[in-house]
Amino acid sequence: MNQLKKKLKNKELSIGTWVNIGHQSVIEVLGMAGFDWVTLDIEHSPMSLETIQNLLGHIRATGMEGLVRVSKNEEVIIKRVMDAGADGIIVPMVNSEEDAKKAVNFVRYPPHGKRGVGLSRAQKYGYGFSEYKEWTNNNSCVIAQIEHIQGVNNLEAILTVNGIDGIIIGPYDLSASMGYPGEYERDEVKEALRSVVEMVKKSDKSLGFHVIESKFSKLKEKIDQGYTFLAFSLDFFFLGDRAREEMEKLNQELEK
């Protein structure tokens, strides 16, 4: 069992980050920062599947594990990123038990799922299919992204699905589904988040959150609240925030 799967199973803390800039240098820089895993986001970035496969190789070389946030809960895109060598997927807009079952089925082969067989990088280009088939049952990770109030309302059923390793909250879309895009500090949204925390803690699944801000204090808040599967900001926030902070300090000095 790989380290990420083990941590998810045991509800141990793991910290990763989000990548939207499709270049190996970004992966290598983040790998040196000490993250456990990286999610390549193809829902909201221009990255191609060819880029995804290339970056997954670089992620593995850094010692991290590589997830892909797929564009939607759909058979073809899920099997293609898994064939490219992803350690698992994050599936957006999981709003029901049926959505969760579909995601698991698209990752696993029969009789445990419905995934079609292809021979690519993950299967060592045909040389290691038997080994990989076993790997998918014991090591592949499926994370349900809860980012709509419907998903919150149906969460108890979602958490019963075998093969779902954990959930991760998408705060922007969750607040948007409640009529307050981006306003995830509103009382109504916070109450929805509290209900998610309570339900997941009673289950055998890991509790996750995507902390958008690139400040460790925001991450620490979530750790203190009991979240264990945490995505810490994203590549262009780390880059942009640090650049803006330092330029602001410089400008303040120059104005003295």
Least confident of 114-118, 169-173, 196-200, 237-241: 169-173
How confident is the model over 193-207, as pLDDT tens digits? 999 999 999 999 999
Round to whole Å and give the CA distance between 58 and 54.
Answer: 7
Q: pLDDT-derived band of residue 256, with 50, 70 and 90 as boundaries? A: confident
- Cα-flanking dihedrals φ and ψ of residue 207, to 5°? -105, 120
Query: Would you state the pLDDT for residue 1?
Result: 79
Mean pLDDT of 82-106: 98
| Amino acid 141: pLDDT | 98
Q: What is the pLDDT, as a whole number, of residue 201?
A: 95
State the pLDDT at residue 57: 96
In this structure, what are the phi and psi dihedrals at residue 11, rounded to the nearest 5 degrees?
55, 40
- Counting residues of the chain whose pLDDT is more than 90, the rounded percentage is 95
3-state secondary structure of 226: coil
Do 77 and 128 form a contact (C-beta atoms < 8 A)?
no
- Say if residue 44's pLDDT is above 90: yes
- pLDDT, tens digit (0-9, with 9 covering 90-100), for 126-167: 999 999 999 999 999 999 999 999 999 999 999 999 999 999
* Mean pLDDT, rounded, for 241-256: 93
Q: Dump pLDDT digits (tens) for 63-91.
A: 999 999 999 999 999 999 999 999 999 99
Say which residue the tokens 């990123």 belong to. Answer: 81
- Reply yes or no on whether the pLDDT at 30 is more than 90: yes
Q: Determine what percent of the chain is predicted with pLDDT higher than 70.
A: 100
d(CA 73, CA 236) in angstroms, rounded, equals 25
Report the relative pairing of strands 37-41 and 88-91 from DSSP bridges. unpaired
Supply the pLDDT for residue 185: 86
- Looking at residue 156, its pLDDT comes to 97
The number of CA neighbours under 13 Å toward the Cβ of 65 is 20
> What is the set of domains in the chain, with CATH numbers?
3-254 (3.20.20.60)
pLDDT at residue number 182: 86
Beta strands in 59-205 (DSSP E): 65-69, 88-91, 141-146, 166-169
Which member of 44, 112, 148, 210 is catalytic?
44
Q: What is the CA radius of gyration of the chain?
A: 18
Whether 181 contacts 175, CB under 8 Å: yes
Active site residue 44: yes
Q: What is the mean pLDDT of residues 51-56?
A: 97
